[in-house]
C-alpha cells in the first residue's frame, strides 16, 4: 500500500492556500496541485472535489459561476483558518519543499522558521540564538530602509 502524500487535513489547507493566492476553478486547482507536488502526488477528482465541496460547506471558500465553471476564492473565514493553521502549512512546506503561502507577507516565512527551529529548543544556547535573531532583525530592518529609500527616489 502506497503511503498517503498529504497528512490529515493538509489537502483542504492547501486548497485554501491556493485559492487565497488566486481565485481558480476546480480543474485549475488540480493542475496547481500536480505542478506543485508532482510527480510524488497526482491529484484526482475523487479527492480534490470532495475537499472543495467540504470547504465550501464550511464557508472557508466560496464559488461563483463564471463561463460554465465555478471559480473558487477564499472567504474571510478561510483566510482566518489559513492564518490559524500557518504552522501546519509551514510544516507541509518544509516536508515537501514546496512554497504555498502568500508572497507579500512575512507570516509564512516566520511560520516556516518557527517550524524548523522549535524542535531545537533545549538543545541550543538560548542566549546565542537571541543574539543571532537580533542581528537578523537588524538586517531585515535595513532591507525595509533600502526599499523605502528606493521608493522615495
Residue position matching grid coordinates 491529484:
43
pLDDT of the residue at 143: 83
- Determine, yes or no, domain membership for 129: no
- Cell matching residue 144: 525595509
The lowest-confidence range among 25-29, 36-40, 139-143, 146-150 is 146-150
Render the burial of 110-137: b for 16+ CB within 10 Å, e for the rest.
ebbeebeeeeeeeeeeeeeeeeeeeeee
Q: Could you give the CA distance from residue 111 to residue 45 in angstroms, rounded to a whole number?
A: 30
pLDDT of the residue at 147: 59
- Determine, yes or no, domain membership for 137: no
- Determine, yes or no, domain membership for 132: no
3-state secondary structure of 80: helix
Query: Which CATH number is 61's domain given?
Result: 1.10.10.10
Q: What is the mean pLDDT of residues 92-103?
A: 80
The neighbouring-strand residues paired with 73 are 62
pLDDT of the residue at 148: 61
Q: What is the mean pLDDT of residues 142-152?
A: 69
- Determine, yes or no, domain membership for 20: yes
pLDDT tens sequence across 49-67: 999 999 999 999 999 999 8
pLDDT of the residue at 2: 54
- Determine, yes or no, domain membership for 152: no
What is the Cα 86 distance to its own chain's centre?
Answer: 7
The lowest-confidence range among 41-50, 131-140, 142-151 is 142-151
Render the burial of 141-153: b for 16+ CB within 10 Å, e for the rest.
eeeeeeeeeeeee
Residue range(s) defining the domain that contains residue 96: 10-120
What are the φ/ψ torsions at residue 89 (nearest 5 degrees)? -65, -40
- For residue 106, give the nearest of 144, 132, 80 by alpha carbon: 144
- Determine, yes or no, domain membership for 148: no
- Determine, yes or no, domain membership for 139: no
CB-CB contact of 28 with 75 (8 Å) = no
- Determine, yes or no, domain membership for 60: yes
Provide the number of structural domains found in the chain. Answer: 1
Give the CA angle between residues 58, 59, 65 to the nearest 5°.
120
Give the CA angle between residues 135, 137, 139 to the nearest 5°.
70
pLDDT higher at 49 or 148 = 49
Q: What is the mean pLDDT of residues 101-129?
A: 79
pTM, entire model:
0.70
Amino acid at each position: 500500500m502506497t503511503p498517503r502524500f498529504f497528512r490529515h487535513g493538509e489537502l483542504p489547507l492547501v486548497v485554501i492556500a491556493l485559492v487565497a493566492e488566486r481565485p481558480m476553478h476546480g480543474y485549475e486547482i488540480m493542475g496547481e496541485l500536480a505542478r506543485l507536488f508532482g510527480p510524488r502526488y497526482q491529484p484526482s477528482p475523487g479527492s480534490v472535489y470532495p475537499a472543495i465541496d467540504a470547504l465550501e460547506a464550511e464557508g472557508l471558500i466560496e464559488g461563483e459561476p463564471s463561463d460554465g465553471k465555478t471559480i473558487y476564492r477564499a472567504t474571510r473565514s478561510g483566510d482566518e483558518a489559513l492564518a490559524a493553521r500557518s504552522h501546519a502549512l509551514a510544516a507541509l512546506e518544509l516536508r515537501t519543499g514546496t512554497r504555498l503561502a502568500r508572497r507579500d507577507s512575512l507570516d509564512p516565512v516566520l511560520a516556516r522558521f518557527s517550524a524548523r527551529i522549535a524542535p531545537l529548543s533545549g538543545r541550543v544556547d538560548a542566549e546565542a540564538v537571541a543574539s543571532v535573531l537580533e542581528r537578523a532583525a537588524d538586517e531585515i530592518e535595513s532591507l525595509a530602509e533600502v526599499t523605502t529609500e528606493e521608493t522615495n527616489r
